[in-house]
Amino acid sequence: MTAETKEFIAGIYADGWSRIVATMIRFTGGDWTLAEECAQDAFAQALRTWPESGVPRQPLAWLTTAARNRAVDRMRRASTEAAKIREWAEAMEQEEAPSYPSDSEIPDERLELMFTCCHPALNLDAQVALTLRALAGLSTAEIARAFLVPERTMGQRIFRAKQKIAHAAIPFRVPPAHLLPDRLPAILHVLYLLFNEGYGDQDKTRLSREAIRLARVLSTLMPDEPEAHGMLALMLLHDARRPSRVDANGDLVTLEEQDRSQWNPEEIAEGTTILERALRRRRAGPFQIQAAIAACHATAPSTAATDWPQIIGLYEQLALVAPSPVVDLNHAVAVGMARGPEAALALVDAIAEDGRLSSYYLLHATRADLLRRCGRAAEAADCLRTALDLAPTEPERRLLAKRLE
């Protein structure tokens, strides 16, 4: 019973945390720290009492009410300290505090929370940290571990971000429609960054999981934004290939050599369905196009049987909406698969000449591969050595070293 109840609480924590925090931020007039403390207290209270009394019929309402009572209590005690809080506490005395009789009556303000956490007036590190704390419900210690900084540093970063929200009056709201094109990409950027942070590192898969969960929340709350769906699709399609990306020794496995039977068919099916629905709105943005490329890979039986001409077209489309030399490089790789190494080498040489990617190891690794396929072994080896010097992680260096042998 006890273990079951604890598991139930852990289950509602995932989505409940951010909903209660959001409701409490609104309730306290923007006191983020108090909102978090009260949410924490509410869950602690549930852990204490539910195993005895049983799970209430409306658990979210129970928790939100507990958090709110805690907030009222804390405000009253603090009321001598500051005029603003005193005013608030007095208003609370007169006005009947709202009670939350059922889960469905609690407004869902997680979207407000997302837009505030990812406000462009906060620096990116602060946006990421705040998103993990307020939305994903990770503790400061957990966030610090994920980003390899001391807990104190992370605590300071989150504290400063909350201070700036209060002092600069960053509003707790969903921006009006005319600001959305500027503001939605910031949320997408933060969530995708979290996903990637967890994708590259086996020890941080939790970050990817949280990113996918929050992307689901975002696309549910913004059903008319195809890029939100596109990003969720992209995450699912990448995540589906996670089991085959690294072998038993922890070595990276290239797409060509991955065991496709290990790919997660449910995630691929869900990702492609979400993507197709998004594309029907005919407002393809960078996330939808990247998801379409990922879908080509995820649904192909082998590298040879992949629809490379379609991938070439998608990279050309991507280069139009989000031009970058990395997109050009990936385009060249696809050309190499469809039309042979000579055609691709000409493109890669042009990218190399441009110079912007000269310290990007994959440029040199790609060039090495194309040179090898053209029969220019000595030049290929030179390129591989350059790539090896530039590769940022140990698994990547091992993969390149193997090719040099």
Partner 1 sequence: MKYLMLVCVDPDLAPGQAEGAPEIDDWVTEMDGKGIRLLGDRVRPGSDATTVRVRNREVLLSDGPYAETKDLIAGFDVLECADLDEAVEVASRHPMAWAGVIELRPFWIDDQDA
One-letter amino acid for residue 266 of the chain: E
Residue 167 touches partner 1, criterion: CB under 8 A: yes
Residue 171 touches partner 1, criterion: CB under 8 A: yes
| Binds partner 1 by CB under 8 A, chosen from 84, 152, 277, 402 | 84
| Binds partner 1 by CB under 8 A, chosen from 29, 175, 200, 313 | 175
The Cα–Cα gap between 134 and 42 comes to: 15
| DSSP single-letter state for residue 105 | G
Chain centre distance of CA 261: 26
| Binds partner 1 by CB under 8 A, chosen from 121, 320, 377, 404 | 121
| Binds partner 1 by CB under 8 A, chosen from 10, 14, 44, 82 | 82
C-beta separation of 166 from 111 below 8 A: no
The Cα–Cα gap between 202 and 191 comes to: 18
| Binds partner 1 by CB under 8 A, chosen from 170, 186, 292, 348 | 170
Residue 177 touches partner 1, criterion: CB under 8 A: no
The Cα–Cα gap between 318 and 96 comes to: 54
Whole-number minimum distance, CB 126 to partner 1, in Å? 14
| Binds partner 1 by CB under 8 A, chosen from 179, 343, 350, 404 | 179
Q: Which stretch binds partner 1 (CB under 8 A): 76-84, 217-225, 275-283, 331-339?
A: 76-84
Query: What own/partner pairs with CB < 8 Å and gap ≥ 24 does 153-161 have?
Result: 154/129, 157/125, 157/126, 157/129, 158/126, 158/129, 158/130, 158/133, 159/33, 160/126, 161/122, 161/126, 161/127, 161/129, 161/130
Binding residues with partner 1: total (CB under 8 A) = 14
Q: Mask of contacts with partner 1, 200-239, x by CB under 8 A?
A: ----------------------------------------
| Binds partner 1 by CB under 8 A, chosen from 47, 92, 166, 322 | 166
Residue 121 sits at φ, ψ, to 5 deg, of: -75, -10
CA nearest to 161, candidates 192, 133, 200, 190: 133
Residue 347 touches partner 1, criterion: CB under 8 A: no
- Nearest residue (CB) to partner 1, 47 versus 78: 78
Residue ranges that bind partner 1, judged by CB under 8 A: 82-85, 119, 121, 166-171, 175, 179
